[in-house]
Structure 1
Amino acid sequence: MSTEIVQSSGGESLHSKMEYAKALAQAGLLPQAYKQQPANVLAAIEYGEALGIKPIVAINEINVISGTPSPSASLMASLARAAGHRVRAWNEDDGTAVCEIVRADDPDFTHRSRWDETKARQAKLWGRGHWEKDPATMLRWRAISECVRLACPEVMGGLKYTPEEVLEMQQDRPAPTPVVSEQVPRVPPIPADLADKIAASDDVGWLTRTADYLAKRWGEHDPEKVADLQALCAARVDDLASNAPEPSLEEAQATLEDVLDAETVEDAAS
């Protein structure tokens, strides 16, 4: 099915909206979450249509915080009033912020939310970020957003929390514990026939090297077996030394002559 005939919620073709979103995403006047992000722009347009507001209003009043769309408190109040509900918000002399909403379909009941320093401190907000710079405004916005969710949540079209509230909820989450993967090198087992090879070897050099290699390769992983095999190497070396044949008279004489010749050469050189 071609996108030319797919209709969005507002009746406009999806292809047209996608092209519009791509064009808007190039604008430098957009909030950071929408610059070069046509998909975010398209989502804001759809939210705007659901809420009955213009695309550019939706883009400026619906923020994207870590992938979560969140309306401003002023937009929440505007939508409640547009639905016919009466919204009033103010700051009292003692610093308390109050919001009252009287629904159009229930004029005899007043929904009320109050925010003060004590409540903000209990929520661990006081003195953080904008709460430190402009606490009166933050208290009023918090009272408005809370009261709208309480009195007329249907006007938000599924959107619930302001950008400040989304950020605060994310900051309150404990940081995930990093999983450290320790890659332990896999050490192969000591060859099963090594003991037989040691017992059959007549090479003293090989036996000595094998004993050293056993300690380096498997000393930490299988110390008991390494000790047994090193003892076997040492015993085999001793056996070879004790069983070595005595040199013959001719071999001893030749060795002595070699030594004398070497000494004569050294005397001549000196």
Structure 2
Amino acid sequence: MSEMTLHQPTTAAALDTQMQFAKAVTASGGSILPKAYQGNPGNALIAINLGSSMGLAPAESLYRIDVIQGTPTASAELVASNVRKAGHKLRVRVDEQAQSVTAEIIRADDPDYTYSVTRDMKWAQGMGLASKDNYKKQPMTMLQWRAITAVARLAASEALYGVGYTADEIREMPAPQQAQTVTADQFVPAEPAQEPDGPETGEAPSEHQRKKMFASLRDIGLTERDDILEYVSNLTGRTVESSNDLTRAEVSTIIDSLEGDTPNA
């Protein structure tokens, strides 16, 4: 089993060197850099540091990591590479006749369990993506990318260094100023509060649990209803159309997973 490379903390001298490099390449006025970095050494410095944690050289970081709507993104190939570099098994099965792609991850530390995510054109239609040019011209490629990044976020988030979305995924999300934050009151009809403690059974989750779940979802950047439903469906292994469908035990599991994904948790 391969091991992830441990990177030493960036020293002040190394940071100064990186900043000088970032200023030099972004001030050149050349158009070979992605637009997010042209004249913006701050963005370049962030990408360089993210790339360094992945084992990428500074110049390679600027081409393999892009910034869309203020969010660092990576290609599906880089996401897949990081998952495999971490020692996990990633397998992708493509069914062109059914227009379906299934991506599976078997973690190195849990070889007896397979994480699986399937993306097909029915899913794309439900998400409002099927009419977009990319899905019309290269549907299997788009479904493959979506399946890979979705299963990677679900099964191996620690291997993504916070860069687990492709540029296409970010572009398809509402702009920050247009996005509507989903709160527990908006997403779940109000119910009488229940005690947060007690046996984890099939009972409905308490108000305390629901609020904690949504707060943790916001901490990892999930505020859109469709993204939340996709996330909890992947975790529970079934299609969740409303948080009313979740049991007390499932919400507890989701909270545990979210706390593991939250920075500095």
Structure 2 CA distance, aligned partners of 1:122 and 1:86? 29
2:10 maps to what in 1? Answer: 10
Give the match's secondary structure for 2:129: coil
1:52-100 superposed Cα distances (whole Å, 9 cap, x missing partner)? 2222222112111121111221111000000011111232132101111
Paired residue type of 1:9? P
Give the match's secondary structure for 2:36: coil
Write out aligned runs for 1:73-88 (5 A): 73-88=76-91
Conservation of the 8 A alpha-carbon contact between 2:64 and 2:75:
yes
Compare CA radii of gyration and give the structure with the larger one.
1
CA RMSD of aligned residues (A): 2.2
Write out aligned runs for 1:228-247 (5 A): none
TM-score by length of structure 1 reads 0.58
CA apart distance, 1:51: 2.3
Residues 39 and 109 of structure 1: is their aligned pair in 2 closer, same or farther, counting only changes over 3 Å? same
1:224-268 superposed Cα distances (whole Å, 9 cap, x missing partner)? xxxxxxxxxxxxxxxxxxxxxxxxxxxxxxxxxxxxxxxxxxxxx
1:19 maps to what in 2? Answer: 20
1:101 maps to what in 2? Answer: 105
Structure 2 CA distance, aligned partners of 1:148 and 1:104? 13
CA apart distance, 1:116: 0.5
Q: Does 1:163 align with 2:167?
A: yes
2:73 maps to what in 1? Answer: 70
Write out aligned runs for 1:209-248 (5 A): none
Conservation of the 8 A alpha-carbon contact between 2:79 and 2:164:
no
Structure 1 CA distance, aligned partners of 2:90 and 2:52? 23
Conservation of the 8 A alpha-carbon contact between 1:49 and 1:55:
yes
In proportion to residue count, which structure has more helix?
1
Gaps (5+ residues) in structure 1? 1-7, 177-270
1:40 maps to what in 2? Answer: 43
Give the match's secondary structure for 1:154: helix
Give the match's secondary structure for 2:174: helix
Structure 1 CA distance, aligned partners of 2:128 and 2:37? 30
CA apart distance, 1:167: 1.2
1:55 maps to what in 2? Answer: 58
Conservation of the 8 A alpha-carbon contact between 1:9 and 1:46:
no
Write out aligned runs for 1:98-177 (5 A): 98-170=102-174
1:92-137 superposed Cα distances (whole Å, 9 cap, x missing partner)? 1321011111111111111111010101101111121311221110
The structure, 1 or 2, with the larger RCO (C-alpha pairs under 8 Å, 6+ apart) is 2
Structure 1 CA distance, aligned partners of 2:179 and 2:50? 31
Identical pairs, percent: 38
Structure 2 CA distance, aligned partners of 1:41 and 1:56? 10
TM-score by length of structure 2 reads 0.59
Which contiguous aligned blocks of 4+ residues in structure 1 show a shift greater than 3 angstroms?
8-12, 171-176
CA apart distance, 1:160: 3.2
State the number of aligned residues.
169
Structure 2 CA distance, aligned partners of 1:10 and 1:172? 31
Conservation of the 8 A alpha-carbon contact between 1:9 and 1:49:
no
Conservation of the 8 A alpha-carbon contact between 2:89 and 2:108:
yes
Give the match's secondary structure for 2:113: coil
Residues 18 and 171 of structure 1: is their aligned pair in 2 closer, same or farther, counting only changes over 3 Å? closer
Paired residue type of 2:92? A
Residues 168 and 72 of structure 1: is their aligned pair in 2 closer, same or farther, counting only changes over 3 Å? same
Residues 14 and 174 of structure 1: is their aligned pair in 2 closer, same or farther, counting only changes over 3 Å? closer
Conservation of the 8 A alpha-carbon contact between 1:101 and 1:111:
yes
